[in-house]
Amino acid sequence: MVNVKMNNDYLLKNLRNVPDFPIPGIQFKDVSTLYKNPKCLKIMVNELYDLYKDKGITKVVGIESRGFVVGAALAVKLGAGFVMCRKPGKLPAETRKESYMKEYGKDTIEIHSDAIDEKDVVLLHDDLLATGGSMKAAYNLVRQFNPKKIYINFIIELTIEGLNGRAVFDKDVEMTTLLKI
């Protein structure tokens, strides 16, 4: 498992922390402040491009919904297609589904059945790694398509005791993060 830790000071300074959201005791890391700042957005896309430009990425899969922002921009820069991984009922054509457990119940994600094939090299992207549940489900879902290779990326990895999102993935999964906090 690859562990890239860039921790760009400018990104860290512009990341908003929202106390007690969505429930008391949670310190929510709000990436919308990074998205609205053109310099931050450019830094993130350029750093990710540098990490993946030589990996042969043909599809970037963004996890709903914050994974769509940088994922789509990165896909354009890489010359790759962009695939949306969404909650049930949001995609109009035939889908494949994967369910996973969250702290407060079960959830499901979907991808169009024709979104990925065996020739693809896929980069899964989302904003934040905490427990790893949604990304593990997305990873399992993409594996059903038998692509050549799957990479995983997050903007932020939370290293708070008890979360350990990396632990849900096999050691050979190549995963990078831009910020580790």
Identify the band that residue 6 occupies on the pLDDT scale cut at 50, 70 and 90.
low
The answer to whether residue 94 is catalytic is no
Confirm whether 84 is domain-assigned. yes
Identify the band that residue 26 occupies on the pLDDT scale cut at 50, 70 and 90.
confident
Confirm whether 1 is domain-assigned. no
Q: What angle do CA 91, 97, 101 make, to 5 degrees?
A: 115
Higher pLDDT residue, 6 or 47? 47
pLDDT tens by residue, 40-86: 999 999 999 999 999 999 999 999 999 999 999 999 999 999 999 99
* Owning domain of residue 65: 54-175
> Percent of the chain scored above 90 by pLDDT?
82
- Report pLDDT for 162: 74
Contact between residue 33 and residue 39 where contact means Cβ atoms under 8 Å apart: no
- Kindly name the residue from 16, 47, 64, 66 that is annotated as catalytic: 66
Confirm whether 33 is domain-assigned. no
Confirm whether 103 is domain-assigned. yes
Confirm whether 144 is domain-assigned. yes
Domain count, the chain: 1
Confirm whether 47 is domain-assigned. no
Identify the band that residue 105 occupies on the pLDDT scale cut at 50, 70 and 90.
confident
Reply yes or no: is the peptide bond before residue 22 cis, omega within 30 of 0.
yes
Confirm whether 36 is domain-assigned. no
**Could you tell me the CATH number of the domain that includes residue 135?**
3.40.50.2020
Nearest of 87, 82, 28 to residue 57 by alpha carbon: 82
Instruction: Kindly give the pairing relationship between strand 16-19 and strand 27-30.
Output: antiparallel
The answer to whether residue 96 is catalytic is no
Whether the pLDDT of residue 118 is over 80: the answer is yes
- Kindly name the residue from 16, 86, 103, 166 that is annotated as catalytic: 103
Confirm whether 82 is domain-assigned. yes
Whether the pLDDT of residue 171 is over 80: the answer is yes
Cβ neighbours of residue 121 closer than 8 Å, sequence gap 6 or more: 55, 56, 57, 58, 59, 147, 148, 149, 151
